Amino acid sequence: MKNKKNKDKVLISPGHRACAGCGQMISAKAATEGMGNNVIVANATGCLEVTTTPYPQSAWKMPWIHSLFENASAIASGIKAALNYKGKHGEGRAKNIKVIAQGGDGGTFDIGFGLISGMWERGEDILYICYDTEAYSNTGVQASGATPWAASTTTTPAGTGKNIDAIGSHQNKKDMISIALAHGLPYVAQSTAGYPMDITAKVKKALEIKGPAYIQIMTPCIPGWKVKPSDAMKLGKLGVETGLYPLLEYIDGKLVNSSKIDKKVKVEEYLKLQGRFKHLFKTARGKKQIEYIQKLADENIKKYELKK
């Protein structure tokens, strides 16, 4: 291996074109730190792809491919199959190359969902990382299957009408963690941009375990969530401290680690920093939604045994 650059610890270089303070970029950098330099990455269409690879430049120092929005998982399956073939045909080093697919929540929860299920069914040794901005950030913050209850997005905008449409999104966030577990994955984990070292550690762990792995990372989107560029990490932490987005780790279907809550933080503390929830603080109906969101957080605390 001649390439000196590839010995760098940082496999995603500075100079990308993401927004200042981008939660996804913090998380992607932390993820690459756990990958090592013997990996191939398949990336879905989205912010991470667009901001890092304007032809003829690239911020990636590892072999990296982007095909389409929905097929990063199947591309990764093809890479894995090719490496398996090479491994049996005189290229022993191919056996040790790790394969990672990654995408945003739109590419994971929605358009790429079926293909991810197909990849998991096949049981291939591939890590899938979802950077969850809870909306289609790249196209201008439209709602996705990952959008939480009562978030205002450009296709679920808060309004002044009398019916339910006025509250913003009125679908619950799809539970991808449970769906991943239902596929029998040996490693499933959740993290947030507030804990880069946790992300790095989970990526490392996922790559050590043989078989399919899924890591979902909550990554605050500065323009999408209408938050201050300096708040991405803080929101990542508040997501955990409220119980809305706990740090989780499942091995062979068993919850082995979760972020314990010392003193419960009310969901208001998390919501009030975000323009996408601003409308909830203005009306009685909005306040009811906050109560409902608190209920969701409380349910998480129970479900994931977050109480100390």
Partner 1 sequence: MTNTNNQILEGSRAIALTIKKIRPGVISAYPITPQTHIVEDLSQFKADGEVDYEYVRAESEFAAASIVEGASATGVRVYTATSSQGLLLMTEVLYNIAGMRLPVVLTCANRGVSAPITIWNDHQDSVTMRDAGWIQFYAENHQEAVEQHIIAYKVAEQLGLPAMVNIDGFVLTHSYESVRIPSEADIKKFLPDYKPKKNGYLDPANPKTMGAFATPAHYMEIRQALHDDMVDALKVIIGEYQAYREIISDSAPFSTSKQLMDNGLLEYHGPKKAKTIIIALGSVAGTIKEAFERSNNVGVLKLKVMRPFPEQHVLDIIEQVKPQNIAVIEKAISLGAEGPLAMDIKTALYGKTKAKVQSFIAGLGGRDITKSMIKKIARDIEKEDDEVKFVGSVN
Among the listed ranges 114-122, 131-139, 192-200, 250-258, the one in contact with partner 1 (CB under 8 A) is: 114-122
Among the listed ranges 80-88, 178-186, 189-197, 249-257, the one in contact with partner 1 (CB under 8 A) is: 80-88
Shortest spacing between CB 127 and partner 1, in angstroms = 15
The secondary structure of residue 273, as a DSSP letter, is T
User: With binding defined as CB under 8 A, does residue 163 bind partner 1?
Assistant: no
User: With binding defined as CB under 8 A, does residue 1 bind partner 1?
Assistant: yes
User: With binding defined as CB under 8 A, does residue 86 bind partner 1?
Assistant: yes
The secondary structure of residue 106, as a DSSP letter, is I
**What does the per-residue mask of binding to partner 1 show for 29-68, with x meaning CB under 8 A?**
--------xxxx-x------xx--xxxxxx-xxxxxxxxx
Q: How far, in Å, CA of 71 to CA of 69, rounded?
A: 6
Q: How far, in Å, CA of 184 to CA of 8, rounded?
A: 35
Nearer to partner 1 (CB atom), residue 114 or residue 223: 114
β-pair type (187-192, 126-132)? unpaired
User: With binding defined as CB under 8 A, does residue 117 bind partner 1?
Assistant: yes
Nearer to partner 1 (CB atom), residue 101 or residue 297: 101
User: With binding defined as CB under 8 A, does residue 19 bind partner 1?
Assistant: no
Q: How far, in Å, CA of 287 to CA of 228, rounded?
A: 23
288 to 149, 258, 276: CA distances (angstroms): 12, 29, 16
User: Does 56 sit behind a cis peptide bond, omega within 30 degrees of 0 on the bond before it?
Assistant: yes
| Identified binder of partner 1 from the candidate list 10, 20, 81, 182, rule CB under 8 A | 81
Shortest spacing between CB 56 and partner 1, in angstroms = 7
Among the listed ranges 82-90, 139-147, 207-215, 223-231, the one in contact with partner 1 (CB under 8 A) is: 82-90
119-138 residues near partner 1, rule: CB under 8 A: 121-122
Q: Is 272 exposed, middle or buried (0-12, 13-18, 19+ CB in 10 A)?
A: middle
CA-CA-CA-CA torsion for 115, 121, 124, 126, nearest 10 degrees?
Answer: 50
Nearer to partner 1 (CB atom), residue 97 or residue 251: 97
166 close to 174: Cβ distance less than 8 angstroms? no
| Identified binder of partner 1 from the candidate list 13, 19, 97, 251, rule CB under 8 A | 97
Q: What is the DSSP string of 7-48?
A: GSS--B-S---PPTT-HHHHHHHHHHHHH-SSEEEEE-SSHH
The residues binding partner 1 (CB under 8 A) are: 1-3, 5-6, 37-40, 42, 49-50, 53-58, 60-68, 70-71, 74-86, 88-89, 97, 114-115, 117-118, 121-122
